[in-house]
Amino acid sequence: MPDGDSLAGPLDPAPDAGWVAAGPRMGFFTDTSVCIGCKACEVACKEWNDVPASGFDLLGMSYDNTGALTANSWRHVAFVEQSPPTGHDTPGTRFLGMPGPRPPGRDTGVEERTDFRWLMMSDVCKHCTHAACLDVCPTGALFRTEFGSVVVQQDICNGCGYCIPACPYGVIDQRRGDGRAWKCTLCYDRLGAGLTPACAQACPTESIQYGPLDELRERAATRVAQLHARGVPQARLYGHDPNDGVGGDGAFFLLLDEPQVYGLPPDPVAATRDLPRMWRRAGLAALTMAAAAVAAFVGRSS
């Protein structure tokens, strides 16, 4: 069944999934303005969750050796290399070390820079409020936890792959030689023991912060206001809005440029968001057709 009835549903999806005594929704707030690209989060995630090594691949993309979120990389530290602006339309952005202009969008204040800078971000599964991956899973392998996160049960996953194209962020992946879907679990086993997820525990700058989602949103808003007051007008939040195309994320970010610069979709949408409405309309159409058929049969009989 679809996870939630509409995009205007409650911010906390756990009660909708049947968790009567669920506590506050837990999640991640990643402040990219203090990320130093150390990759401690990647290492801690792999060690705790026994995720296979991705290999030391020199991808030719700056200091990034993982490239993206995959079945073997549940945390991915992106490196965005930005040269001094050369003009209003081509500010000299280099995404992951590859040349190219900054994606079009509203004025971010980046044009005012005169220096070289790095943008770094530890990406992860967003644990969407309206999770399309969960909606399309035919076996129930994906489920909503009492913490509001979305987890894949590997002993139930049949490797059909339906969840992969359903994810608007391209997070879920199938492992080679295995076939099953894998992604971040928000360290579900650690949460059950009252522990912080491994990535947040290992982050030396507190770029990755874990806690009740409502508290994180307040903390994030305060941080954005601080950056604006310090002359960083391009600071903005991503994935925090409960009225966006996925109903808000359980893992959201503070960014210093447009989402596209970090490899994030600007307007993510849950592909299954209209399923409840579609099923209701289909049901009404079926009832109408049945009533018309009965009326025609009665009319002919008389």
Alpha carbon distance 13, 19 (integer Å): 9
Give pLDDT tens digits for 119-136.
Answer: 999 999 999 999 999 999
Q: At CB < 8 A and 24+ separation, what contacts does 197-202 make?
A: 197/28, 198/44, 198/45, 198/47, 198/48, 198/49, 199/40, 199/41, 199/42, 199/44, 199/45, 199/75, 199/122, 199/124, 200/28, 200/41, 201/44, 202/40, 202/41, 202/43, 202/44
Structural domain harbouring 141: 15-271
> How would residue 274 be classed by pLDDT, with cut points 50, 70 and 90?
low
**CATH number (domain holding residue 267):** 3.30.70.20
pTM: 0.79
12 band by pLDDT with thresholds 50, 70 and 90: confident
Q: What is the mean pLDDT of residues 239-244?
A: 92
| pLDDT given at position 82 | 85
Asked if residue 209 belongs to a domain, the reply is yes
Return d(Cα 262, Cα 54) in angstroms, integer.
21
Please tell me the predicted confidence (pLDDT) of residue 104.
45
Q: What's the whole-number average pLDDT of the chain?
A: 83
CA distance 203 to 238: 20
Look at residue 247 and tell me if it is in a domain: yes
CA-to-CA distance for 30 and 193, rounded, in angstroms?
23
The pLDDT score that the predictor gives to residue 57 is 63
Q: State the pLDDT at residue 11.
A: 64
Specify the pLDDT at position 112: 60
- Per-residue pLDDT, 138: 95
Q: Look at residue 285 and tell me if it is in a domain.
A: no
Considering the domain boundaries, does residue 228 fall inside one?
yes
Asked whether residue 299 is domain-assigned, the answer is: no
Q: What is the pLDDT of residues 75-120, one digit of tens each?
A: 999 998 888 766 544 444 444 433 344 444 444 444 466 678 889 9
Look at residue 297 in the predicted model and tell me its pLDDT. Answer: 66
From 85, 142, 148, select the one nearest 116 (Cα to Cα).
85
Task: Please count the other Cβ atoms lying within 10 Å of the Cβ belonging to residue 247.
Answer: 23
| Mean pLDDT confidence for 182-206 | 97
Q: If pLDDT is split at 50, 70 and 90, which confidence band does 53 have?
A: confident
Domain tally for the chain? 1
Residue 103 lies in a domain: yes
Please compute the mean of the pLDDT values over residues 278-297 and round it to a whole number. 59
pLDDT of residue 180: 96
